Structure 1
Amino acid sequence: MSVAGTYTPKPGAAPLSRMIGAQAVLETKMLLRNGEQLLLTVIIPTLLLVLFSAVDIVDTGDGKAVNFLAPGILALAVMSTAFTGQAIATGFERRYGVLKLLASSPLPRWALMTAKTLSVLVTEVLQVILVTVIAFALGWSPQGNPLAVLLLLVLGTAAFSGLGLLMAGTLKAEATLAAANLVFLLLLVGGGVIVPLDKFPDAAQSALGLLPISALSDGLRDVLQHGAAMPWGDLGILAVWAVLGLGAAARFFRWE
């Protein structure tokens, strides 16, 4: 039988790791329950993979079309989640005051960004598994170094997350919605995802090759289609974008 006063209250915040984990789980559940985000991050990339692999619309060079398309669709999946989806969701959280409330909680602001990044990574793992299974069903024959693929995906996620948070933290929610979707469509067409960069004029190829989506899709294609060991040039481009994007987001992000 317990005696009154045996237990002394000890108010305080939960351990930081537990707070980050709980917030990451919440962010992931919210993302997976959002039909519009699922359309953008899961359904559209898989439909594009199936459509362009089955129908000879774009000249993808020698070999099966899926061998060219699958790496580009993996890059598109990363961009759709880390950039477009995160920018839109965070922009509206900022508009409705959700971020302001979270910023006043015991969870530090950097820990909130960490939880959002973990949520993005979990979603990307599900996307990669889905795209890979569908690509194998279409006859994909990947090769190359898995470590190089992992480095490309991690740096690509960092680059697009920084750009997405920068957009969400500086523009109004409606502007973020329009701009993020517009950038998604433009990079889908001009980022080497579906249409090879060598189909563009020589002057445009140099500029397009410096885009993060081009570096990610070309790097994944070099490894998975051509068996390259480590695409240092593409990794360098993604690293620069990651540093610039995350640095600018940390500097200019407004919480309300």
Structure 2
Amino acid sequence: MTTSAAARPSSPGTAAPLAARVLRHGGYEALAMLRNGEQLVLAIVLPLLALTALVITPLLDAYGPSRIDIAAPGVLALCTMSTAFTGQGIATGFDRRYGVLRFLSTTPLGRSGLILGKAVAVAAVLAVQLVVIGGAALLMGWSPRPEGLLPAALLLLIGSAAFTALGLLVAGTLRPEATLAVTNLVWILLAAAGGVIIPAASLPAAAEPFVAVLPSAALGDGLRDALLDGVLDPIPCLVLLAWATLASLAAIRWFKWS
């Protein structure tokens, strides 16, 4: 009795399906990020320190009755920035320098599989961050609105896409040393005055219109609307979608693989 071609085991030289290749590469990159001390500090330690500092200091007292309820959405937005933009940008920049990107793009994984794998890695690390940071916030008394959890998940998904595209754009156009400096500097500036922790509407009137259209402010304000009020504001979603689209198109146009 003959065995159909579909039922036969694939030969050693046959590539796995694209989905399997993407998931394996995403898992590898996620583990590499979590095992890297510098990345772990950026992804877990700094957001935990920021959350703790915001809870024990009066910085957010003017924005609501509960410090932790105001702080948690902003710190979750900060986690997205650290993983999708800074972490992925730095890792991709040095992979490009050492020829890893050029090598992997010639394997069955391909360029599209490589980019998708990086997106999977960002999602996996972000999930770990949400569990750790969200769990710490709950222990501190955080009480998010249940009806806002789904809108918050949507915003985090779009936000991670936007910041991943921005990170790849920087990593694919600048030298690794410049990528390291730019991603860290931008992360600090956005964290301090980009509407992540402090709502954009609370900033000086002259700065508010410019900050409001930044992806950091859109993600921070959108998460606060979802987790504090249980609503999905379409404006932050549209801003994040615009950044994700423009950054993706720019990365496709100018990304250099070597």
Per the normalisation by structure 2, the TM-score is 0.92
3-state SS of the aligned residue for 2:58? Answer: coil
- Residue 247 of structure 1 and its aligned partner are, at CA, apart by 1.3
Shift of 1:10: 6.3
SS at 1:202 equivalent: coil
State the match for 1:178 in structure 2: 181
Shift, 1:9, TM fit: 5.9
* Percent of paired sites with the same residue: 44
Name the SS of the counterpart of 1:145 in structure 2: helix
In 1, the alpha carbon distance for the partners of 2:186 and 2:32 equals 23
Separation in 1 of the partners of 2:176 and 2:127?
27
Q: Contact (CA 8 Å) 1:82, 1:160: kept in 2 or not?
A: yes
Question: Is the deviation greater in 10-19 or in 153-162?
Answer: 10-19
Q: Runs of 5+ in structure 2 lacking a partner?
A: 1-8
Q: Secondary structure at the match of 1:31?
A: helix
Structure 1 range deviating more: 189-198 or 63-72: 189-198
State the secondary structure of the residue aligned to 1:132.
Answer: helix
Q: Report deviation, 1:36.
A: 0.3
Report the Cα distance in structure 1 between the residues aligned to 2:99 and 2:37, rounded to whole angstroms.
22
> When the two structures are superposed, what TM-score results if normalisation uses the length of structure 1?
0.93
CA deviations over 1:167-202 (Å, ceiling 9, x no partner): 000000000000000000000011222333344221
Query: Match for residue 4 of structure 1?
Result: none
Residue type of the alignment partner of 2:133: V
The code of the aligned residue for 2:77 comes to A
Tell me how far apart the structure 2 counterparts of residues 8 and 188 of structure 1 sit (CA, whole Å): 49
Distance 1:60 1:17, change over 3 A: same
Query: 2:197–2:220: 8 Å Cα contact kept in structure 1?
Result: no
Instruction: Give CA deviations for 1:101-123 in whole Å, capped at 9, x if unaligned.
Output: 11121211011100010010000
Alignment-derived partner of residue 85 in structure 1: 87
Question: How many angstroms does 1:61 deviate by?
Answer: 2.3
Match of 2:49 among 40, 47, 50: 47
Figure out how many residues of one structure are paired with residues of the other and give that number. Answer: 249
1:218 aligns with 2:202: no
Q: Do residues 206 (structure 1) and 209 (structure 2) align?
A: yes
Tell me if structure 2 keeps the 8 A contact 1:60–1:195: no
Q: For residue 129 of structure 1, report the CA deviation from its aligned partner.
A: 1.1
In the other structure, the counterpart of 2:126 is: 124
Shift of 1:211: 0.4
Asked if the contact 1:60/1:68 (under 8 Å) is kept, the reply is no
Report the CA distance shift for 1:204/1:112 in structure 2 as closer, same or farther (over 3 A).
Answer: same
- SS of the residue 2:63 aligns to: coil
